[in-house]
Structure 1
Amino acid sequence: MQQAIAIKEDILSRSNERKRKTVEALWNVLLELRAKGVKSFSVAVVGKACEDARVLKTQSIRNTSGADFRNLIAAFAVDGDDALSSRGRQARSPLDEAVDAIPDLDVRTRLRIMVAENRKQRDEINRLKEAFKHLREPAIAPSAEGAIELFPPASPSFRDIDFVPLRKFLSADWLDDNHWHIEANGAIYDADGNRVTPVAFVPALSALIALIDNHDKP
C-alpha cells in the first residue's frame, strides 16, 4: 500500500486543515471497505460509503476539484490489486520498474492505474478466448430412416445475429444521450452514480463482439 500512502501524504502536505480531515476520513472509509472484503473501489461504491459515513458527497469526488480524492481511491485500489496479484513484488515486469522510476508522483500514479486496468482487460479477454475454445458447432442427429440430418436451417449462426444494437450500446453517442459513463472497473454508470451494468461488462462485451466478428474469417 506504499503508493497509496505516498499519495495521501502528498495531498495532506499541500492541503488546508479542513481538507486534511476529509482526506483522513476518506482513508478510513477505504480501509473499512477493504476490511469488509470489498473488491470494487469505483467512485460510485466509495462515494456511497462516504455519504453513509457523512464524509463526502459522491458528486464532490466526481467534480474537477475532487481529482485528489479520485487519485487516492484509484491508487488504493491498484495497491490492493498488486497485493493480491500472483505476480508479487519479486516478479515485477520491466514496465512496472520503468513506471516506478518516474520521479513525478502524479504521472507515476496515472500510469500505474492505466497498466493495472490494461492487465485486467487483457485477463478478461483471455478468459473469453478460453471460453470460445469450448464452443462447438451444432451436433448432427440421425433421422428415422438412418440418414444424417443437420439441425433445421432456422437455427441462428453468428452471421444471422445482428450485433449493431450491441455496438450502439457501447458507442459514445449512445452513452452521451443517456448521460451514462464508463468507470475504470469496466462498468457503465448513470448520471446519479448508479451502476447500469456488471463490473467488467464493457471490456467483456467489446471482446465478445471482436471475437464474433472474426469467427467466420478464414
Structure 2
Amino acid sequence: MTPEELLVELKMDVKTKVKQTLQAIYEVCSEQKKRGLSDFSFSTISRLGEGRGVPKAQSIRNKTGAPYRALIKSFEDNINEKNSKNKKYKGKVDWIEEISDVRLKILVSHQAAQLAEAKRIIKEFTPPDMVININDGLAIQTESFDHLERKALEYLMSDDFINKWHFKKGIHGDVLNEQDERVFKIATLDALGKALKNL
C-alpha cells in the first residue's frame, strides 16, 4: 500500500483534527521523499513540521499516535523498497500486502509499525552486552560471573576456607565459628550453591 492510499484509508472515520494532522504529516514526508532523503524519524518529521500542524515527536510515539506512525512508516518502507540494502528486511513484511481486507491490512500495518519502533527503541537504549529475558511481562537483566568471581564464591563454600578460619558448616546452610557463633547466616551456603548452579 502506497503512502497516498494509506492516507485515504487513515482519514476514514476520524475527527477533522486527526485528518488535518495526517495531511500535515503526509506533506512533510512527501517533501522529504522529493528531496531524496531517507530520514523519517519522528523527531525529524516533527521538527520539519513545526508550526504546520505536525505534533511533537512524543505525541507521535503515544498510543493515540498510531495512525501517524503508520503513515510515516509507509514513507520509510517506500524508500526501503528502492534501497537494495533493505530488501532482505522488507521481505519479512511483504505478506501484509497480501491481506485483501483493507481495514485489517491497516491494523496489521499499524502493529508492524509499532513493533519496528519498539525494536528500534530497545536497540537504541539497550547496551550491547545486556541480555534481557522476558518473564511474565517483566524485563530482567541477567549477568554471568567471570572466572575470578566464580572462583571467589566457590572458595567461600570450600573446606579450605572453612578449615583455614576454624569454621564449621551448620546444618541449616550456615557457617559457625569455634564459639558456635554464626558467621554466615542460615541458608547462605544453599544460596551460594544455587547462584553458582544458575549463573
TM-score (norm 2): 0.49
* Structure exhibiting the larger radius of gyration computed from Cα positions: 2
> Is the strand fraction higher in 1 or 2?
2
Greater relative contact order (Cα < 8 A, sep 6+): 1
TM-score (norm 1): 0.45
